[in-house]
Amino acid sequence: MKQFGPSHILPDNMDEQHIFLMRLQLLMVMIKARLRGYPTGELRKKAVLENAAALHKLIVNTDLSGLVLHGSSHLFRQRIKLLCVMAVAVISEDCPLGVHRREAVLENIDNLMQSAFATKKLVLFHDVLNAA
């Protein structure tokens, strides 16, 4: 019998830092999708709001010592809190998005990407974002 994949290798246990980073990347993708004009239904709005709230709670207790940050961890935490507030504003239909607000949101996302995910590139998948 053929076996595919690694043998007897246990995956790393997910800790709060893994969940935190995955939520952060998800929030950045959702915000960029909204800014690029992808459709935003009620379920996506709810998902963004729940993810932003959970990320805002996680940032307080998450240990960032194992993360290689390009800058201070205090500034990184403050940028994430700002991103959570920006996510609520971007998703809200009551808050108009002008040129300067869009630039501020994208600049914050770029700074977070350079700080935490310097080796990765955030790519939006057209088919995935249009499916939901």
Q: Is residue 52 part of a domain?
A: yes
Q: Is residue 3 part of a domain?
A: no
Domain limits at 120?
16-127
Number of domains composing the chain:
1
Q: Is residue 6 part of a domain?
A: no
Render pLDDT for 37-58 as a digit per residue (tens, 0 to 9).
Answer: 888 889 999 999 999 999 999 8
Q: Is residue 21 part of a domain?
A: yes
Q: Which residues have C-beta within 8 Å of that of residue 18, sequence separation ≥ 6?
A: 12
What is the mean predicted confidence (pLDDT) over 108-123? 75
**Does the pLDDT at position 117 exceed 90?**
no
Render pLDDT for 45-95 as a digit per residue (tens, 0 to 9).
Answer: 999 999 999 999 988 887 777 676 666 788 888 999 999 999 988 888 776
Q: Is residue 25 part of a domain?
A: yes
Q: Is residue 10 part of a domain?
A: no
pTM: 0.75
Q: Is residue 9 part of a domain?
A: no
* Residue 121, pLDDT score: 58
* Residue 125, pLDDT score: 55
Rounded Cα distance, 34 and 94, in Å: 15
